[in-house]
Structure 1
């Protein structure tokens, strides 16, 4: 008889959502043609060793699958290693310092009230569409200096990227998979063209925004190219809102499905930050991140060849029983709670403080304004159709 652990791979990785953990911390998935890293210590090791486990996974993608993607790699922070990554990351570090983030709290609160005012006259809302998506998009758009009113466009472009990861294989490259990737690159192209207009405008008409700062910045005595600024801004806009959208949606979902904790958090708001941290562990927004090996390496009792694609499943690692007691129990009082929902090492999410602040402010205001807020019994939540992300696509609520 075949056990769940025997079938574990990239297509089964979200068994962890149902409390089914893999027996082996490292496993090769022959169907997808990549290595899956599930154990907490093993994931931690991968993320802490950028020399052996490079973020430049693009080089392993076959040319026929990479068509149209190369032009989007220049300045893509997610795909960069070593000094190149450090220098570019340093350019935006000033935009996410503790003081800068803390100063955003009044604006975040005002936006939250404004968005909730639009639904307060009824008796129900859809959390993602009404608050969890628009709030972080408006915040990051204002930082960059692009019109927040264009957020429906950002959503369409970002959705295409997320859905392109629904099925993936380096071994069995089907026509359907190639078509999805092609369509995803077309959407990325639309976003890049949109951002390029703003980059060219800032070269002629500087403003007090992040795109202008990137246009004027120098790295090693040289200015960034248009492509670098465009792709850099692309990552900030898409990744900068998706994390918070899922963080807020997952936090509400966790509390709603654990009413005893919802009552305690509602009564004691000092528990809100801890509830958010536990929801990040329990439903990790970015459930998986990819790396490419630069040399043969032994990990978790397996020998991984050089030039292999590995996927670190953060969501599975965050339920590793070797690190977390009762890992499938939602417990905001868990201490310590060393989850890796925002990653580790050089690529730790630079926007994590902002995401936490937005989640804390929005969740407190939701609890203040809607004392009877709960999920809609007639409309169950729908989740994102993505292997690498965990969060509700729709979360209907009644109040």
Structure 2
């Protein structure tokens, strides 16, 4: 086991607000072992940026990891050429060209439909009544699972996320996760023949066209759902909350003084929707005097790196004009999020501008509680629409 200094956390407090603990870790023990998580945490931005690329030490191949056990060994849990081969296979689905020419129009249609349903209402919860549907409908298109109701898409995504973070081994959480992966498989079963016969640019179709075996295709679809629903959902609602609580930036975005993309990318730095990425230590390694032993579990804490006070001028402040070129919101190495272009399009080009155009007088109607440290976002967001 690593000889890293031990840092104790209160798991409930860390879930509610990890940033005070993460700031202390960066200052006092930037590489530390957290017994409550059973992992060594790397918390400084430059350490994460440098070491995420050292796949011979910090391996994504985690045969005993929760994601692999529960969902199958997807491309995120592979390194080197094995990872790149599958990344190339799915590129036709997530390329900037496909996002622009295929997915954007579908994102706009689904977002307009969600907004139409809100029209005439006085109040809404932007998480459950808007962001959840918009994100899920986008994911239905991208995966090819157009037969899945958007509510089920959100359910199975959340179930897998909870399962992959179930480090306490709660059997009820595992059972729910297994039920969710079974639902995905049933929906794939219903679509696979049609997508073989008439392939499109969906994730299922392009993997089949690339000759990927069915088990691997299914594992990668589950990966896309596990991360591709919560991050856009939480970023849509969360970025809207950031603007409503910082009206000067909302005015700037509406006036064109800042872009919606600046809003999204600053939000993704400030409140990292994906706050952590796990690794397995593949060989003994010394990192700044801390010994890491083979099979140790290690977490790259993106949410901490994105608030590193040695890198960002105003790390704890939402400021879309500050320089965030060093942000690692989508990762920092070979596992840089393949869905980044789709997320930017959905959130910055479609969901946020359409939402604020439709409801120009929208205002918060209560507190918006946040939760999570591995995945973080608003749990609810009550608004008055007019």
* Same-fold call, TM cutoff 0.5: yes
In the superposition, relative to structure 1, how do residues 347 and 46 fare at CA in structure 2: closer, same or farther (>3 Å)? Answer: same
The aligned residue for residue 390 of structure 1 is 376
Distance 1:396 1:130 in 2: 10
Distance 2:288 2:268 in 1: 25
Distance 1:9 1:48 in 2: 31
The aligned residue for residue 208 of structure 1 is 200
The aligned residue for residue 161 of structure 1 is 160
Question: Once the two structures are superposed, what CA deviation does each residue of 1:8-36 show, in whole Å capped at 9, x if it has no partner?
Answer: 58773743179844222110112332101
Question: Once the two structures are superposed, what CA deviation does each residue of 1:291-315 show, in whole Å capped at 9, x if it has no partner?
Answer: 0010111224411111111011111
Q: Is the 8 A contact 1:15 1:21 kept in 2?
A: no
The aligned residue for residue 90 of structure 2 is 92
Shift of 1:286: 0.5
Q: After the TM superposition, which of the residue ranges 18-27 and 258-267 deviates more from structure 2?
A: 18-27
Shift of 1:281: 0.5
Distance 1:180 1:241 in 2: 19
The aligned residue for residue 221 of structure 1 is none
Aligned pairs (5 A) from 1:25-44? 25-44=30-49
Question: Once the two structures are superposed, what CA deviation does each residue of 1:135-160 show, in whole Å capped at 9, x if it has no partner?
Answer: 23222212332225522222222222
Q: After the TM superposition, which of the residue ranges 17-26 and 361-370 deviates more from structure 2?
A: 17-26
Q: SS where residue 18 of structure 2 aligns? A: helix
Question: Once the two structures are superposed, what CA deviation does each residue of 1:117-140 show, in whole Å capped at 9, x if it has no partner?
Answer: 111111222212222122232222
Shift of 1:336: 4.1
In the superposition, relative to structure 1, how do residues 396 and 229 fare at CA in structure 2: closer, same or farther (>3 Å)? Answer: same
Distance 2:357 2:275 in 1: 31
Q: Is the 8 A contact 1:108 1:139 kept in 2?
A: yes
Distance 2:164 2:368 in 1: 20
Q: After the TM superposition, which of the residue ranges 185-194 and 300-309 deviates more from structure 2?
A: 185-194
Aligned pairs (5 A) from 1:78-227? 78-103=76-101, 104-147=103-146, 149-164=148-163, 168-169=167-168, 177-200=170-193, 202-203=195-196, 205-210=197-202, 211-218=204-211, 224-227=212-215
State yes or no: 1:237 paired with 2:225. Answer: yes
Distance 2:48 2:9 in 1: 16
Residues paired across the two proteins, number:
373
The aligned residue for residue 60 of structure 2 is 55
Q: Is the 8 A contact 2:258 2:321 kept in 1?
A: no
In the superposition, relative to structure 1, how do residues 294 and 199 fare at CA in structure 2: closer, same or farther (>3 Å)? Answer: same
Question: Once the two structures are superposed, what CA deviation does each residue of 1:146-185 show, in whole Å capped at 9, x if it has no partner?
Answer: 225522222222222233466625xxx6xxx244224323
Distance 1:236 1:32 in 2: 25
The aligned residue for residue 286 of structure 1 is 274
In the superposition, relative to structure 1, how do residues 99 and 167 fare at CA in structure 2: closer, same or farther (>3 Å)? Answer: closer
In the superposition, relative to structure 1, how do residues 336 and 179 fare at CA in structure 2: closer, same or farther (>3 Å)? Answer: closer
Normalised to the residue count of structure 1, the TM-score between the two structures is 0.85
Q: SS where residue 333 of structure 1 aligns? A: coil
Shift of 1:115: 1.1
Structure 1, unpaired ranges of 5+: 219-223
Q: After the TM superposition, which of the residue ranges 286-295 and 258-267 deviates more from structure 2?
A: 258-267
Aligned pairs (5 A) from 1:242-281? 242-268=230-256, 270-281=258-269
